[in-house]
Amino acid sequence: MRLLIALLAAAAVSAASSHKEGALRFLARPEGEDAYNRQLLELAAIPSVSALPENHGDLLAAAGWLQRRLEAAGLENVRILPTEGPRPVVYADYLHAPPGAPTALIYAHFDVQPAADTAPLWASPPFQPEVRSGRFWGRGVSDDKGSGVLPPIQALEAILKGGGGGGGSGGPPALPINVKLMLEGEEEVGSPHLEPFLAKYKDLLAADFVLSADGGQIAEDQPGLTLGLRGALALEVELITAQTDVHSGMAGGAIQNPARALAQLLSTMWHPGNSSVAIPGFYDRVRPITDADRDDIIAYNFDEEQQLLGPLGASEAFGEEGYTSLERLWHRPTLEVVGMGSGFQGEGVKTIVPHRAFAKLAARLVPDQTPNEIEALIEAHVAAHLPRACNASIKLLGFKAHPYSQPKDTMPNRAAAKVLTELMGNPPKYTRSGATIPALAAFQQHLAASTTVFAFGLPDSNLHAPNENFPLSMYRLARRAWVELLFELGQQAASGGQGGGDRSEL
Amino acid sequence: MRLLIALLAAAAVSAASSHKEGALRFLARPEGEDAYNRQLLELAAIPSVSALPENHGDLLAAAGWLQRRLEAAGLENVRILPTEGPRPVVYADYLHAPPGAPTALIYAHFDVQPAADTAPLWASPPFQPEVRSGRFWGRGVSDDKGSGVLPPIQALEAILKGGGGGGGSGGPPALPINVKLMLEGEEEVGSPHLEPFLAKYKDLLAADFVLSADGGQIAEDQPGLTLGLRGALALEVELITAQTDVHSGMAGGAIQNPARALAQLLSTMWHPGNSSVAIPGFYDRVRPITDADRDDIIAYNFDEEQQLLGPLGASEAFGEEGYTSLERLWHRPTLEVVGMGSGFQGEGVKTIVPHRAFAKLAARLVPDQTPNEIEALIEAHVAAHLPRACNASIKLLGFKAHPYSQPKDTMPNRAAAKVLTELMGNPPKYTRSGATIPALAAFQQHLAASTTVFAFGLPDSNLHAPNENFPLSMYRLARRAWVELLFELGQQAASGGQGGGDRSEL
């Protein structure tokens, strides 16, 4: 019996190997490169900006474009699914893998950051993408259309059309594992409708693990695998002291000044002269940094000047005492003022006492902090430190995400590490990110699935900034890597005897 | 000899009396009222907004209009004098009073506050002034064209043309005292070029006392005489931490946040939870409140709800512990945040760490504080409390005025009190103002002349606000009052034997 299983496995490996060769040949067709480039230029020309209501039609146009592309690629059940918000999700699947093969949910997002506000700073118009000096240039050519959305679709198409394989017995052509695709349309605004969407469609989306095509590598020759991301919470504190601004000569010194009151209130939120948060309980649930965490930090070999201060023109690192910059970014929470305003902000001066002041605060959270608990702590702190003669209101700003963390040694992480090492020439470093992909914690919570970040964004691609770009070489590498990964996942699952049922090490 | 002097004085009084009757008859001509109203409607139609460069041509147009009006009124040496800035001063004089009569400098300003920014809130267009319900409506109909600039010109014209009088011996018609007029064009922007102007023209402008037609009364039937105004100093503190904003996930917690640093810096400027200034030395030169000051405060009978909180919709008075609201406004300095800004201030949230934050601060000063000393104290405080990893810069915002104070019992104050009591039915209350007229301290400093505020603005005229207005009844009262005042000043100077030389009680 054992021998039979071993023989069958060997035969399967051999079939898979010829199947993969066919897929790679498909990718390498002479007409392929042009077609793949055209796809990105078409998709990136659609200004699918999730932040701006005037672009909601473009989000639908992008979803429609993807629906046609997914159908042309051979995916099944291609659907545009509504969320509770104005931005849909695009879903597709292909569930004809051999019995016992696991199911992966591939995640990416087709919405992009705004660009009109920075248009004068772009060398070419942000929504007229073009190829120049070996790179695509345009909003979304990296994040997430070029580095995330298209490569796995192109890989799936190549496997489905590349000949070889086949589900046997005249059935449809097979993939090495079962695949579901979920393309989100509101990642850039903090995925405000994702959780109810996952709750509603948890059966449709059920998977053994998630593969996120949103994220990035450290460099073109240095892969990284993301073990964690910080969560986030954004809220606005507003202080109102009167119905109207008033001449500062007429009332200055005799009524409350909301800008002064706000400065006094905010200053109680951190220890004096420091950035460590003074809100009681803020750090209570923060996990201590482990030796394994420190090993990853040492292996990462962070260059503070090159990777943090230099690009910003900042004079020195600044943060919680007793931690290095990378510890602060990967393992420590922070509370930042992201915006603040009151009174007259034009040239010169208008001598008024303002009647209103506000601050927008964004916390980045780490395990086991939760956005709800931190929100309650901030609210209690504001109530306890509210200056006199002020009305305060606090509102949530639609950005509320749990922190995410996973063990290093999962089967999909091992598969991804193997593929990346072979293709990029170096083994991956295990990283964390100070930023947030709300979906990852949400998948963990609603689908009980961990996420391997298999993504090809690069640090110098100007994400969220003018002149976003993405190298053609990385775009090519990404679709190749997705082919390799899908076969590697099939092989590891088969050889490890790990089907969909065993999530213990995912 | 004494008898002769007494007889001559009696004859002079009698001549003055018939002269005044002539002037009052001139004011009351049937065609007069229409002409006076037309003058204000014409002058207020010129948008002489000093704050806006695009209106500098209108300032010149207003100066030209005034030049013609002053010449038509019979004033002499009418000149448009340049300042070091783009806004001129209009000067005129009439110096043919009997020997020994004092010289008054009448001050007002022909520039106005901006109105375009609030145009939608006006019931009629701000620069198309009109008469409605017994009031003028339009920008500047009160401050300072209707309540200040035109009434003394109309009074001087009436005295010069009203018959009677005459300098005797075929000379030019006389005024009871010598008069110089100085109409400023930049009061509403803090008179930034006034001091060098006064230094340059101090001989031309030399006077025994100043009469300010800028200022106001308490109510139509309750006169007030202003004994003091607070000084002012406005400056901007800017903190810069990097060259650019950065994604708060990518750097939050590892670099300085200028908005947090600004809140921390600002919070050191006041005692916690209070509005008393914590900058060392800030109160060192503040004069204690005297019993006489408290008597004036009690006599003023301030209604905090009616006169301060109600119109603002503020819930409670708030200021330095141990002082009443009126003490705070009249006798205590204050340091206010008039504007503050950093990072993203639009709808929703952009999760960045900003690279820049600023606060505009305005101090209101009382004797014997000086703007230069307070500026130095603030600069030293910022340097001493500057958070780490910040570059700070401080710039002056073109508003720098000394506090002003004068004794109650001066000859011009007595003359003004007598006239106001007779015309308005009640004796004046002696007030101070928390606001600033930079010219008054500047006159004291450069011309060694105190100022009697003889002005007819009203608290409910919406100065600096939409729907500025001024009652026709007050406009009529003002020109009558100026005639009475000029004769009263002549009489008091003559009877008291007080000529131009004795400034001891001015």
Digit-coded pLDDT (tens) for B296-319: 999 999 999 999 999 899 999 999
**All residues at 6 or more sequence positions from A31 whose CB lies less than 8 Å from its CB, including other chains:** none
Rg (CA), chain A: 25
Shortest Cα–Cα distance, B414 to chain A (Å): 26
Let me know how many helices (H) and strands (E) chain A has, helices first: 16, 18
**All residues at 6 or more sequence positions from A311 whose CB lies less than 8 Å from its CB, including other chains:** none
Distance (Å, whole) CA B363 – CA A320: 35
Question: Beta strands B135-137 and B469-471: pairing type?
Answer: antiparallel
Rg (CA), chain B: 25
Which of B337, B344, B433, B464 to mutate to test binding with chain A, by most A CBs within 10 Å of its CB? B337
* Cα within 13 Å of Cα(A166), Cβ side: 6
Which of B238, B275, B306 to mutate to test binding with chain A, by most A CBs within 10 Å of its CB? B275
Candidate CATH numbers 3.30.720.110, 3.40.50.300, 3.30.70.360, 3.40.228.10; the one for domain A232-286+333-401: 3.30.70.360
Ranges for all domains in chain B classified under CATH 3.40.630.10: 2-227+404-495
Shortest Cα–Cα distance, A253 to chain B (Å): 5
Taking CA–CA distances from B354, the nearest residue in chain A reads A338
Determine whether the interchain pair A316/B350 forms a contact, defined as Cβ–Cβ distance below 8 Å.
Answer: no
Query: Tokens 């390498």 identify what position?
Result: A28
Which of B113, B312, B404 to mutate to test binding with chain A, by most A CBs within 10 Å of its CB? B312
CATH fold label, A2-229+403-495: Aminopeptidase (3.40.630)
Domain B2-227+404-495, architecture per CATH: 3-Layer(aba) Sandwich (3.40)
CA B319 to chain centre: 24
CB A314 within 8 A of CB B255: yes
Taking CA–CA distances from A276, the nearest residue in chain B reads B253
Determine whether the interchain pair B254/A325 forms a contact, defined as Cβ–Cβ distance below 8 Å.
Answer: yes
Distance (Å, whole) CA B494 – CA B487: 10
Peptide bond into B208 cis (omega under 30): no
**Letter for the amino acid at A98?**
P
Determine whether the interchain pair B275/A267 forms a contact, defined as Cβ–Cβ distance below 8 Å.
Answer: no
Distance (Å, whole) CA A96 – CA A98: 7
Distance (Å, whole) CA B245 – CA B457: 47
Residue A181 CA: distances (Å) to CA of A61, A91, A96, A105, A412: 18, 6, 14, 6, 16
Peptide bond into B368 cis (omega under 30): yes
Ranges for all domains in chain A classified under CATH 3.30.70.360: 232-286+333-401
CB B273 within 8 A of CB A387: yes
Distance (Å, whole) CA A82 – CA B409: 80
% helix, strand, coil for chain A, step of 5: 40, 20, 40
Determine whether the interchain pair A334/B253 forms a contact, defined as Cβ–Cβ distance below 8 Å.
Answer: yes
Taking CA–CA distances from A240, the nearest residue in chain B reads B314
Residues of A within 8 A of B433 (CB-CB) are 249
H-run or E-run covering B68 = helix B56-73
| Secondary structure (H, E, C), A296-331 | HHHHHCCCHHHHHHHHHCCCCCCCCCCCCHHHHHHH
Determine whether the interchain pair A254/B398 forms a contact, defined as Cβ–Cβ distance below 8 Å.
Answer: no
Determine whether the interchain pair B243/A333 forms a contact, defined as Cβ–Cβ distance below 8 Å.
Answer: no
Q: What was the ipTM of the complex prediction? A: 0.88
Taking CA–CA distances from B304, the nearest residue in chain A reads A254
Distance (Å, whole) CA A93 – CA A75: 6
Which of A245, A250, A463 to mutate to test binding with chain B, by most B CBs within 10 Å of its CB? A250
Among the partner-chain residues A254, A312, A317, the one whose CB lies closest to the CB of B246 is A312
Closest CA to A447 of A364, A503, A377: A503
Shortest Cα–Cα distance, B428 to chain A (Å): 20
CATH fold label, B231-286+333-401: Alpha-Beta Plaits (3.30.70)
The DSSP annotation for A185-224 comes to S-GGGT-TTHHHHHHHTHHHH--SEEEE-SSB-SBTTB-E
Residues of A within 8 A of B432 (CB-CB) are none
State pLDDT tens for residues B197-219: 999 999 999 999 999 999 999 99
Closest CA to A174 of A184, A162, A191: A162
Among the partner-chain residues A236, A353, A434, the one whose CB lies closest to the CB of B249 is A434
- pLDDT tens-digit profile, chain A (506 residues): 565 565 666 666 677 788 999 999 999 999 999 999 999 999 999 999 998 999 999 999 999 999 999 999 999 999 999 999 999 999 999 999 988 999 999 999 999 999 988 888 999 999 999 999 999 999 999 999 999 999 999 999 999 999 755 444 455 678 999 999 999 999 998 899 999 999 999 999 999 999 999 999 999 999 999 999 999 999 999 999 999 888 888 899 999 999 999 999 999 999 988 899 999 999 999 999 999 999 999 999 999 999 999 989 999 999 999 999 999 999 999 999 999 999 999 888 888 899 999 999 999 999 999 999 999 999 999 999 999 999 999 999 878 899 999 999 999 999 999 999 999 999 999 999 999 889 999 999 999 999 999 999 998 898 888 899 999 999 999 999 999 999 999 999 988 744 333 333 33
Determine whether the interchain pair A353/B360 forms a contact, defined as Cβ–Cβ distance below 8 Å.
Answer: no
Taking CA–CA distances from A327, the nearest residue in chain B reads B254
Q: Tokens representing B124?
A: 């009629």
Taking CA–CA distances from B384, the nearest residue in chain A reads A273
